[in-house]
Amino acid sequence: MRCNRSGGVHISMSGDAQHSRRRRSLKMFMVASDFKVQDHLEGTIRLQRGHLCQQQEGGAHRSSRGEHIWVKVLDKDCVVKVERQALSEVPADLAGLLEPVPDLELRVKLLSRPQVLQQIASLALGSEVRVIWSRSQSELVEAELRYRGPLTRGSSAVYFGVQLKGWAAGRGKCNGSYKGHQLFSCPEGCGLFLPVSEVMLPQSSSVSVLSRAAESVPQPLAVGQRVCFTQDQSVQRGTVQFCGPLSNRAPAALFVGLLLDHPVGSWDGYYKNTKLCSIPLPEFGALLPLSKVTAECRSERSPLAVTSPKPLPKVPPLPVPSKAAPRLSSVSREPSSTPAKNPLIQPSMLETARRALQPPSSSGPKAALRPPPLTTVKPALLPPTSPQAPPLTPPTDQPRPSNGFHNLLSPPATEQRAEPGPWLEVGSMVEVNDPPLFGVIRWIGQINNIPEAVAGIELDQELSAATDGSYLGEHHFRCPANKGLFVKLRNCRRDSRFPEPELPINQVDRCNSIAFANWSSKRVEEHTPPLSGPDARLMYEGFKKGIQGHLNSCYLDASLFSMFSCCSSFDWLLFWPTGAQNNPISQSAQDLLRCEIVNPLRRYGYVCASKTMALRKLLKAETADSGFTNEEKDPEEFLNQFFLLLRVEPLLKIRTVSQKEQECFIYQLFPPSVSLSSPPVSPVSPTLSPLVSSGLLRVSSVQTLLESSFMHSGLKLTEAPSCLPLLMPRFGKEFKMFDAILPSLSLDITDLLDETLRQCSICQSVAQWECLQCYEDVDITPGQLKQYCNTCNTQVHTHKKRQTHRPVEVRGPRGCWEGPVHGARQLMYLFAVTCIETSHYVSFVKHGPGAMDWLFFDSMADREGEENGFNVPQVLSCPEVGRYLSLSVEEISRLDVSSLRDPVRRLLCDSYMCLYHCPQLSLYK
């Protein structure tokens, strides 16, 4: 068995044979049962039932042990040789449908029903379907099929692009585009890309539902899901806190632990001394079989219905012309002149319909929600100026032109004084009049002689007094004839047939001790030094470890974990004198950093997001930048402001070409430009990367980048820093300066220090000259600092190719020095790397002296709940990082990018900031 990371097996064959094999489609298989194979590179590889495999071009191999074939395991992206009998062949047209399905058992179930898969795959674009819009709720919604195929070029996975309809419109994730590629077009927030397991045929189809939500047996509920159950002939509601089997019971028997809305329970969250979930009081807990609990439907999530509906205000009967009634409603109605003994819409029925948002279960459900016929001209558009307004004018057989203005009944006095809500905009679903007319706002603006804002509404039903969207011959919007209506904007109300959208929760305020009660971390006053080696790994490794992310906080989480989790070189920030009287915010920030973040992180291995939110609020107060609490930021932006908030001295002191000293906290690396004074070199400068052919990666090291940045800018460090944060040269994800950057495990900054003894690059005597042009010279080891004594400087620049070079004198300490220089080199050591991928920051931290002692941290590795859920941080041990960091730039340049897996790929290809320190100097900071 062997594993080919590039995804294929290279076998020598003739061109005709290769062409013949390419024309044949490769067979697809599914793993029939769990088994393991051994790989000399990856070790043991576990293949699970349901994994999809593609036969490779290596062919089958027969031996005494049976037939073996080379296959590519799509779910693991590796090529292995397995026994043929362990695989079940899958039709090629079904394999693409099954590939995006994440649940392996569900794949197996779907494959057992190929006719259902083929029926869904053959649906025409534009077909009505039902989809699961949220996996946590397993709720089916109406949608329209708009796209079917792969999401990225070269992929074989088939996804279904749908446009959500009805109440789910606006709850999608896109406008039909995926990673910048427009696959179909729909309004923003209405598009979803789903696997076949989450797409159902319409209810009229005879095909049963494929998802788990429609299995014949009860399926588990998601934690945080709203449910209801019957108790003592009354309906009780609550939130799922636990769902699963209980010990000593049949595995198929599932139970649900609930946090109830009302104190009608008697369960404390424990079962046989085992804690299943957190229940504050037993009166609010209940443990029930799954069969007795049902998911709460959408109508039950609206405000609670009143127990005794109030009668609606009486409206005087209006005469209705007979010829307009059929166009407004298909429901027959007795003439208004005849008193109705049993009216079609009772006030209580209408109230119940509005409250429950569903038709009542009486004999006329559709009529109860349909607006009654309304064709008469009602009071004037302007509100009445006095209570003695003239009575309504009875309509005639030939109604006068109204130009689309509907004379509506004046709203109550409280509604007249209310300003239009912010939700009123083009596209809002509204109702006007009472009984209501329903429609959608298509236009908002000013009309002559009307001092207020006017809304143009496209009605659901025709109205004789309506137009096609025009007023006095001027078109403001277009709609079918007799459906355009113009009313004052303040007379529009929200469409009562649909629930009011829930107000968005302020995620900044939500991040407090109450909302994060189950995720809180303790305050630690005592100074806690960092752990190292196996102790640090034991402390941090696992879920709910590190710093919890919340609301775009990954830039801060990754930076703080890198600085303090396993290293004490930044501990001087915890004790820097801030001056409590002069800088109260600085003292608060330092106390928060020391006692709420750093000490708890080192003591317990975890810090809650509410602590970092408190720090973000202090940054917001100090900088007046509200983005620090809810927006994406960059680590250097946070660190610069944080150091200023603490009123600390800058880390770096740099002398420029003009001999002026400048101070900064972070240094930005940049690739040098090719000097015009140097001889022509290859199109790709060796300084930028060690390229020798176009087939290799563009790779550089931090050591090379630091030297070239200082050399070409004429910079020198006036003193050796205790910590050195370096930003990598990258300008957005679309244009990265290098395919990979190798974080040097150690940095030699001896030759970057000002006024120090430096060795001649040739004879090791005291250097007195350095030359920028020699740094780029391809004939004398390009990409390395060149400094010479007087003799070597003369000899090197006697060559005719270097006579145009302009060496500059080296600044050294006062006094004379003769002979070789044997001084110790000034080194700094890598202890953390922050990386970015798709706007998300993670970090790698060295936790011990060993080469393999590396941890990977992600503050948002997992999530519990949906929008109002919680991020789950995770720390992983990744010793494989140490193996790659020990490679040279030339070895890295020859790697295949496709062979790099997370987290190594992120470290080499997406590094953002490297943190270096000198442990000896840190003691004096």
Catalytic positions are 554, 840
CA dihedral sign, ordered 67, 68, 70, 74? positive
Asked if 159 and 231 count as a contact pair (C-beta separation under 8 A), the reply is no
* Token digits of residue 381: 């558009």
Ranges of H-type helices in 605-662: 609-623, 627-630, 635-646
Instruction: Give how far Cα 759 sits from Cα of 395, 663, 771, 792, Å.
Output: 106, 27, 14, 12
Taking the C-alpha atoms of residue 254 and residue 25, their distance in angstroms, rounded to an integer, is 44
Please give the sequence-ordered ranges of beta strands (E in DSSP) within 572-679, or none if there are none.
606-607, 652-655, 661-664, 667-668
**Cα 803 from chain centre:** 57
Dist. CA 814–CA 797, nearest whole Å: 27
- Smallest CA-to-CA distance from 607 within 537, 539, 672, 664 is with 539
CB 511 within 8 A of CB 870: no
Q: What is the distance between the alpha carbons of residues 365 and 360, in angstroms, rounded to a whole number?
A: 6
Q: What whole-number distance in Å separates Cα of residue 49 and Cα of residue 91?
A: 17
799, 748, 747, 804: which is closest to 771 by C-alpha? 804
End-to-end CA distance of the chain: 55
User: How far is C-alpha 426 from the chain's CA centre?
Assistant: 29
Asked whether the beta carbons of 536 and 832 are under 8 A apart, the reply is no
Say if CB 300 and CB 237 are below 8 A apart: yes
CB 28 within 8 A of CB 53: yes
Instruction: Give residues with Cβ within 8 angstroms of 737, minimum separation 6.
Output: 671, 688, 729, 730, 731
What is the residue type of 291? S
Residue whose structure tokens are 């659901």? 460
- Which helix H or strand E contains 511, and what residues bound it? none
738: which 2 tokens?
Answer: 């290098």
What is the C-alpha separation between 233 and 230, in angstroms, rounded? 6
Q: Which residue has the tokens 């270096």?
A: 916
- Residue 554 CA, chain-centre distance (Å), reads 11
Q: Which tokens hold the place of 462?
A: 């025709």
Contact 197, 110 (CB under 8 A): yes
Ranges assigned E (strand) in 261-335 = 270-271, 274-275, 285-289, 294-295
Query: 258, 241 in Cβ contact below 8 A?
Result: yes
184, burial (CB in 10 Å: exposed 0-12, middle 13-18, buried 19+): buried
Residues 6+ positions from 35 with CB-CB distance below 8 Å = 46, 47, 86
Enumerate long-range contacts of 233-236, CB under 8 Å, 24 or more apart: 236/260, 236/261, 236/262, 236/264, 236/286
Sign of CA dihedral 862, 863, 867, 870: negative
Location of structure tokens 């109300």: 493
d(CA 903, CA 912): 14
Alpha helix (H) residue ranges in 308-359: 347-356
Residue 688, CA distances (Å) to 217, 640, 685 in order: 62, 28, 5
